[in-house]
Amino acid sequence: MLELLAYLQDPELVARFQRRCGLFLVEAAHHSGGRTRDPEPTPVHADKPREQLRGRWDHQDKNSNYKHKENGYAVGGCSKPQYEVRNWLLHFLFLFSAGMGHEIFYITCLPCVHWSVDPFLCRRLVNMWAVVMYVGQVMKDVLKLPRPPSPPVVKLETRVDAEYGLPSTHAMAATAISFTLLLSAPSRIQFQFEVGLLIAATLSSLVCLSRLYTGMHSVLDVICGVLISGFLMFLTYPYWETFDHLQLTSRISPVVALAVPFFLCYTYPELEHYSTTRGDTTIILGAGAGSSVGYWVNEQLGQTFEPQGTLPVPLPTLTADTLALGAARLFVGVVALVGTRQVMKTLSLQVLYSWYKVRKRDDSARRRREIEVPYKFVTYTAVGLVNSIVVNRVFILLGLL
């Protein structure tokens, strides 16, 4: 078993997958100052000692300050090893798939389910998304297992490189979102289950494979992410209906929805270095908390915006008018959410900077727990509230719903 785990954690396994997909780590000889380089970068072979490669990249980093993208080669200087893309179709496919696993994608796309399909399904997806992401992010910072090193792996993302690796929260989120929708939709919408299963498996697989292609996770990270997400769904599935009922009808639901996530964010495990995991987790739980309170308010007001008639309802026909209406709702909704985010972010930071007597130009202050957690939680709680309460009512005023 230990040998199997070590094999799945081996970065060379990721590097081989990247090479099979047409992504190669390359060597490029150049002089100090980065004025020249080989016309044809040389692929790094697996049989070269990793220490030799590491030293070479370190040497190049100290003596270069250039970036090139020529003749089909995507070449980075400074702090990034150089790489060559030989299959652009797979390259863009996996980069797009990786984007589907980022928090910003879910925060902008999950509301579309609320606006154009069924708020009930959006509520289910947000709840499950918040659960699996919190568990995954905390596990990363408790286990502290590193991401695959470069070389031999090509790393195409830098923002999250300071985070730890296991489990892959992209894999967790993609699995939870895809299969929560698949399990929840049959009672609400008429569709062929086999087609839904194929779509869910395809989308989640693309996101998982993209984490290998971008060099951000080992095979073990991805497999564990899928298995943990599946386990959490299996564990919570029998209680989904009960939780829905309590979330919408209990008098203490708004208090619990705000207090518990904020407590979890503020007590998030501390690291010896700054990582984006706490901030990203706060964004997710804040958006979930705001949405939960908003759905409770809608239930109390008796206007839930859910499909009328006998359930499950048929899927709407994709006509030009339907697509235009959906695009208009998307535009108005995104403008409302982005505007809310910008206003609340500015106001909350001003209040916190004044309270803690921090200079407004001190961007590093945003990393302090007492500032980062409250401002992000308040900002995205407001985003969740606007999404669940306000946006649909704006649609009605504009004749879009």
Q: Which residues are catalytic?
A: 170, 217
First to last CA, the chain: 55
* Closest C-alpha among 65, 83, 97 to residue 28: 83
Which residue is it, tokens 């719903």? 401
* DSSP characters over 262-276: HHHHHTPPP-SS--S
Please enumerate, as own/partner, the contacts of 341-347 that have beta carbons within 8 Å and a separation of 24 or more. Answer: 341/379, 341/380, 341/382, 341/383, 344/378, 344/379, 344/382, 344/383, 345/375, 345/379
- Measuring CA to CA, how many Å separate 379 from each of 117, 127, 277, 279, 290? 26, 18, 17, 12, 10
**Residue 21 in 3-state DSSP?**
coil
Q: Spell out where 127-251 has E strands.
A: 189-190
Contact assessment for residue 284 and residue 129, using Cβ atoms and an 8 Å cutoff: yes
Residue 75, SS3 per DSSP: strand
Tokens 């407004």 locate to 360
**Residue 136: both structure tokens together:** 């995954």
For 340, the token pair is 């809310």
**3-state DSSP helix/strand/coil percent for the chain, to nearest 5?**
65, 5, 30
Number of other CB atoms surrounding residue 237 within 10 Å: 14
What's the CA gap between 53 and 161, in Å, rounded?
Answer: 19
Which DSSP category does 387 fall into? I
The residues that bridge with 314 in the sheet, in sequence order, are 190
The three-class DSSP label of residue 217 is: coil
- The residue type of 162 is A
